[in-house]
Amino acid sequence: MNLTSQLLDLMLEASNLSRWQFIQEYSIPPLVAVPRLPGALLPVFGLLYVLIFCLAVVGNGAVLVLLCRKKALQSPSTFFICSLALSDLLIAIVCVPASLLQHFFKNWLAGDFLCKLVPFLQVTAIATSILTMTCIAVERFQGILYPLHVRNSYVLHSSIRMLAAVWLIALAIAAPMWFVQKVEVKYDFLFDVYHTCCLEVWSNHHQRLGYTACLYVLVFLVPMLTMAVLYGKIMRELWGKHRVHEAMFQTLPGSEINKITRSEACTDHLATLLETPTVLCFHSLATFLFFTLQEEEKSSEDDGNSGSSVCCLLVSISPCVTAAGLWEAGPGPGL
């Protein structure tokens, strides 16, 4: 039943109840859904957001400073890692504080510009991270399986072009968010209160579901399959050369073995700590949103806000985990 102001007045008159008695008697929820956490969880999520913000900013900032100052580390991998750190900084600096404020206050306080900017940068940063990791997989595939077919200068220029394409594609993917995000003032006549909300205003649910499906395919499914194929071939190639490497180690001095093993350890940490957690966090976010929007299409009331506490925290955790991987892998000589 669609409750209107006139219908509410008739029901109040017929029931001989006050407005608040009527709401409590029939357990009627607010007409304007406001994404707020339960009061008991606010301190926990607040502490997590602050901790994640500090770790992500310090970790990614330190990696950017370190890689930019040490010229010896300037390589194709360095450009890719800087791109990852920059995209994660965007999430940490812009998106995390805005999400935190949204859960602590009933009204959107950041204005129309940030209402558009925060989701736009969030999608841009996530797309950039996933696509950059795909570029890293391509670069590793070429370097390990075809090391003699590519020159350093060619790889460097190719990496710069790939990164430029990654950021342009990410901006194009995120562009719809800039146009659908709007600040609206909604009146809840049941509770007699006004709410200032930052909403996704789509023409219809089909457009919204279509965009989410395209986002899932272009930013997760295709890159994930590409990385799985490339790393599968890399693992098969390295596994085949395992015994050859063991024979080579036996002929090298101890100091050289330490250098090689340290370099390989940094590469392993970069692949494991940097890529897997970020992909899994985004996979959880994308899957959650995709199926949530499908359920929302069946509902009669939708305020157009696909954000939730779980989604915001998943996106916020991603740069924190990535920063830890970058900090451990960044200084290594293997880059």
Q: Are 235 and 45 in contact (CB under 8 A)?
A: no
Rounded Cα gap, residues 277 and 122, in angstroms: 17
Q: Which residue has the higher pLDDT, 79 or 6?
A: 79
Cα dihedral sign, 294-198-309-35:
negative
pTM, whole model, 2 decimals? 0.72
Least confident of 70-84, 158-172, 176-190: 70-84
Q: Are 273 and 329 in contact (CB under 8 A)?
A: yes
**pLDDT score of 320:** 53
Q: Is 256 exposed, middle or buried (0-12, 13-18, 19+ CB in 10 A)?
A: exposed
Short-list 243, 122, 234, CA closest to 173: 122
**pLDDT score of 334:** 42
Q: Per-residue b/e over 207-222, b at no fewer than 16 CB within 10 Å?
A: ebbebbeebbebbbee
Q: Which residue has the higher pLDDT, 103 or 263?
A: 103
Q: Which two tokens stand for residue 153?
A: 């200068």
Torsion of CA 319, 60, 88, 305, to 10 degrees: 60
Rounded Cα gap, residues 95 and 93, in angstroms: 6
What residues have CB less than 8 Å from 65, skipping those under 6 apart? none
- List, for residues 269-324, the tens digit of each pLDDT value: 444 444 544 554 554 455 455 445 544 544 444 444 444 455 555 555 555 555 55
Mean pLDDT (the chain, rounded): 72
**pLDDT score of 253:** 57
**pLDDT score of 149:** 66
Place of tokens 């791109």: 83
Rounded Cα gap, residues 157 and 305, in angstroms: 41
Task: Tell me: pLDDT of 170 over 90.
Answer: yes
Task: Tell me: pLDDT of 169 over 90.
Answer: yes
What residues have CB less than 8 Å from 121, skipping those under 6 apart? 90, 91, 94, 95, 174
Within 10 A of 16 (CB to CB), how many other CB atoms are there? 8
**pLDDT score of 3:** 67
Rounded Cα gap, residues 115 and 178, in angstroms: 9
CATH code of the domain made up of 49-329:
1.20.1070.10
Q: Are 189 and 8 in contact (CB under 8 A)?
A: yes
Q: Which two tokens stand for residue 274?
A: 């940097």
**pLDDT score of 63:** 80
Task: Tell me: pLDDT of 260 over 80.
Answer: no
- List, for residues 142-151, the tens digit of each pLDDT value: 877 877 766 6
What does the DSSP assignment read for 3-72?
Answer: --HHHHHHHHHHHT--HHHHHHHHTPPPSS------GGGHHHHHHHHHHHHHHHHHHHHHHHHHHHH-GG
What residues have CB less than 8 Å from 87, skipping those under 6 apart? 124, 125, 126, 128, 129, 132
